[in-house]
Amino acid sequence: MRDNDLKKEKYFNADGYKLIEVKSTKLYKKGTQFRGLFNVTIKGATKQIEIPFEYSVNGNEAEFTGSFTLNRSDFGIGGKTLTMADEVEVSILVKAKK
């Protein structure tokens, strides 16, 4: 029931917005850590977010892992409610072939 409710217009509006997009605009190294600036688009709203990440290579496969926090209300998700936190922690794992 909850999963179906989250697909409705008040939350993610899955019928109107099929994808959540994360596009890099800049990747760089800060000290020993990698970071990137990414445009995150949810429900048609785009915000630029800095995401720290780790990069590792194992044979022919590269892996990127990281996490970041976003504010759901910046993307019009969920309206005003006392039962849902505004901040959401997002974890990413991307695997790529070399």
User: How many whole angstroms separate alpha carbon 35 and alpha carbon 8?
Assistant: 33
Q: How many other C-beta atoms can be found within 10 angstroms of the C-beta atom of residue 66?
A: 19
Backbone angles phi, psi at 4, to 5 degrees: -65, -35
pLDDT of residue 27: 94
pLDDT of residue 79: 79
CA distances to 22, 47, 55, 97 from 34, in Å: 17, 20, 7, 19
Q: What is the pTM of this model?
A: 0.82
Residue ranges for the chain with pLDDT beneath 70: none
Q: What share of the chain is helix, strand, coil (3-state, %, to 5)?
A: 10, 55, 35
The domains located in the chain, with CATH, are 2-97 (2.40.128.110)
